[in-house]
Amino acid sequence: MRRICDTPLTLRVGRQELLFGNGWLLSNMLTPSQYLSHDAIRLTYTGTNYTVDAFAAKHNDSMQLFDDQKNLYGVWGTYTGFKPLSMSAYWLYVHDNTDIETGESTALGSWVNSLLGRHFGSTKLHTLGIHLLGKHAGFDYSLQTAYQFGDAEHIGAMFNNGGIFYGDNDAKYDNWGGEAILGYTFEDITWKPRPFIMGVYFQGEDNRDVSFWEWLNPFYEPEASVSFNRLFSDRNYSWTINDNSWLSNFIQLSAGLELQLTEKVLLNMRVSKNWADEPFNPPKSIKLGGNRVYVAPNLSFWTDKGSDDLGWEIASYVMYKYSPDLTFGLFGNVLFPDDGLTNGSFLHFYGTQFSGGTDDDTSAYLFWMAILKF
């Protein structure tokens, strides 16, 4: 519905895309080859130099009216009255009160945990952010940063140490994330070269270390490791590690070059250095015949010192826009891993899944893709 009550207000109800800004947190892509849509209600007010969107989206099927729900809410405003710079500010809220299995084996255990306030409630994730974007005098620039806060109940429930207490029901989001890009295009030179630099930061935690006395204590309450949640992003900063917008506890600095080889062919190349924001201290191990052997993995207090160095990578892609509706892409990535990957770090699924291997061999990733719009 457009121009509700003869105002510049638009209402859209039903299955739809929620793409805002350049897709850093809200995109219409789930992976580079999968599109994403939402069951949502969206109101858009369009002024002379600004737009304001408010929306609510449901992300699971439930027969209950208020319980067992997973919903996304947001308000996004953009000002475009200053030509060299558009400015956006937003609030996003994810409320997830789907059931969390606490794993008590007896009714008595459930009653004790309830009495002690150890049962889990709802995840309530708030995100406040800004996005500055523009072009001027050959330069292009994009700066976005966001702060997340709120209850991280579903993350806390994952940290069960096998003791009396199940998980961390005090887990909180308290994380920053950001991306900054600066480029310059030489319009009067063949291929219009565009050198650029980029920085990426997703704040993470790694509280998995325990002391000997904490390991021995059956009443020790584990502390969750909560990292920045990238929500519904489409960014893929590291193809070989298989980012697919899931990496967090992650830092990257890049320098690159973009060339418009023809009107329809674009070449992009970059070199990147990667780090883990907080390293993981792996179980004590020794090297035998080039393989890593863990000495006593059940003694979780006995660890080696972890590294935050994930290594270097070279990435490049070529995009051929055959027609307005058909585009071909060839993507390549070479990864030179360092100790933060060979020993392992918690990066995937927003810092909750182990990312690592057993060797430091150079890795490569190559894929071809065709995009057809209809």
Name all domains of the chain by residue range, CATH numbers in brackets.
Answer: 4-372 (2.40.160.100)
**Looking at residue 26, what is its pLDDT?**
94
Kind of pairing between the strands at 50-58 and 86-96: unpaired
Mean pLDDT calculated for residue range 127-143: 97
Q: Rounded to an integer, what is the distance from CA 303 to the centroid of its chain?
A: 28
Which of these, 145, 367, 138, 85, lies nearest to 236 by C-alpha position? 367
Distance CA 70, CA 95 (A): 6
Query: Model confidence over 148-200: pLDDT tens digits?
Result: 999 999 999 888 776 666 788 889 999 999 999 999 999 999 999 999 999 99
Query: pLDDT exceeding 90 applies to what percent of the chain?
Result: 61
Distance CA 342, CA 339 (A): 5
Query: Model confidence over 3-42: pLDDT tens digits?
Result: 777 788 899 999 999 999 999 999 988 777 788 888 999 9
Query: For residues 87 and 79, is the Cβ–Cβ distance under 8 A?
Result: yes
List all residues 6 or more positions away from 87 whose beta carbon is below 8 Å from its beta carbon.
Answer: 78, 79, 130, 131, 132
List all residues 6 or more positions away from 129 whose beta carbon is below 8 Å from its beta carbon.
Answer: 25, 89, 90, 92, 144, 145, 146, 147
Distance CA 366, CA 317 (A): 10
DSSP 6: G
**Looking at residue 241, what is its pLDDT?**
85
Distance CA 145, CA 284 (A): 37
**Looking at residue 66, what is its pLDDT?**
58
Distance CA 330, CA 317 (A): 5
Query: Model confidence over 287-333: pLDDT tens digits?
Result: 887 777 888 888 888 999 999 999 999 999 999 999 999 999 999 99
Q: Within 13 Å and on the Cβ side, how many CA atoms surround 292?
A: 17
pTM, full prediction:
0.91
Distance CA 349, CA 246 (A): 5
Q: What is the DSSP string of 105-132?
A: SSHHHHHHHHHTT-S---EEEEEEEEEE
- Which amino acid, residue 63? M
**Looking at residue 114, what is its pLDDT?**
65
Q: Where are the beta strands (DSSP E) in the chain?
A: 9-16, 29-31, 34-35, 38-46, 50-58, 70-79, 86-96, 123-136, 139-151, 172-184, 194-202, 250-260, 265-276, 285-288, 291-294, 309-323, 326-337, 345-347, 353-355, 363-372
Distance CA 150, CA 339 (A): 33
SS3 of 307-346: CCEEEEEEEEEEEEEEECCEEEEEEEEEEEECHHHHCCEE
Torsion sign, CA atoms 10, 13, 19, 20: positive
Distance CA 345, CA 204 (A): 11
Distance CA 125, CA 301 (A): 32
**Looking at residue 67, what is its pLDDT?**
66
Distance CA 31, CA 24 (A): 13
